[in-house]
């Protein structure tokens, strides 16, 4: 006898396919070195498809995607979810409309996080690319991308993120010496936010070099 799963298997398959396709592209761009990075997609109100912990994200297959509930607990599997699962599920739990969370370790993201950790944010102002972030309709705006201190304790990090979200609307944040989290209502929006923030960080880093 087979036990019915508490989520729609077709929906999981759709989410897994989408994650695999997008992660392969991000890995090919060099944004997921040395097994780093993690990715998730909402399946329904109570379930999230997320990458398992460890493993080369450049060789990700559907078999490397598992299901957790909104507390980050594995559902119908004994596999181990991403070590940073809580940073994904806290967003799904807080915002019913969030459908996708992406976390990468590109060089731009990591270097910028180090340079701006002291300030606690990277100020991004006057760029046309700011319009890639939902809600922005003009380049005549400024955004302070938060940089959080790193921690191996996900509850500490999640509490810092929650405190930020109490104060401001945002689509992403950096963690010092670590990488970038970005999210959106679906994969396309989350990916656009991730790429836009990485591009903007790259511009700031380049400007710093040129202005020396
Ligand atoms: C290999 S260093 C990166 C990890 O410590 C972590 O930050 C990360 O992004 C991947 O962790 P994972 O548990 O595979 O989701
Ligand atoms: Zn990481």
64 lines ligand 1 (CB under 6 A): no
The pLDDT of residue 1: 64
Distance CA 47, CA 51 (A): 13
Mean pLDDT, rounded, for 78-91? 98
Strand partners for 144: 123
**CB of 146 within 8 A of CB of 166?**
no
Distance CA 87, CA 101 (A): 9
* 3 within a domain of the structure (yes/no): no
Residue 186: Cβ-neighbour burial (10 angstroms; 0-12, 13-18, 19+):
middle
pLDDT in tens, 124-155: 999 999 999 999 999 999 999 999 999 999 99
* 128 within a domain of the structure (yes/no): yes
- Overall domain count for the chain: 1
84 lines ligand 1 (CB under 6 A): yes
User: What residues are designated binding site for Zn(2+)?
Assistant: 103, 105
204 lines ligand 1 (CB under 6 A): no
Range of the domain at 74: 9-210
* 196 within a domain of the structure (yes/no): yes
Indicate the pTM of the whole model: 0.98
If you take atom 9 of ligand 1, which residue's CA is the nearest one?
Answer: 37
Task: Report the CATH number that the domain containing residue 24 is assigned in CATH.
Answer: 3.40.225.10
* 4 within a domain of the structure (yes/no): no
Strand partners for 102: 39, 182
């Amino acid at each position: 006898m087979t036990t019915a799963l508490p989520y729609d298997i077709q929906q999981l398959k759709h989410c897994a396919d989408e994650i695999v396709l997008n992660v392969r592209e991000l890995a090919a761009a060099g944004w997921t070195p040395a097994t780093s990075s993690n990715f998730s997609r909402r399946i329904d109100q109570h379930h999230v498809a997320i990458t398992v912990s460890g493993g080369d994200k450049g060789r990700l297959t559907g078999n490397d995607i598992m299901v957790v509930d909104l507390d980050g607990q594995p559902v119908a599997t004994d596999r181990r979810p991403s070590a940073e699962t809580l940073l994904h599920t806290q967003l799904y739990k807080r915002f019913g409309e969030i459908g996708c969370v992406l976390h990468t370790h590109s060089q731009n993201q990591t270097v910028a996080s180090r340079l701006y950790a002291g300030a606690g944010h990277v100020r991004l102002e006057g760029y046309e690319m700011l319009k890639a972030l939902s809600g922005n309709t003009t380049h005549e705006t400024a955004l302070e991308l938060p940089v959080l201190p790193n921690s191996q304790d996900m509850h500490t990090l999640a509490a810092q993120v929650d405190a930020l979200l109490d104060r401001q609307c945002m689509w992403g944040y950096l963690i010092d010496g670590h990488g970038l989290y970005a999210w959106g209502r679906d994969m396309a929006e989350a990916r656009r936010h991730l790429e836009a923030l990485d591009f903007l960080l790259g511009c700031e880093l380049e400007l710093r070099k040129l202005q020396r």
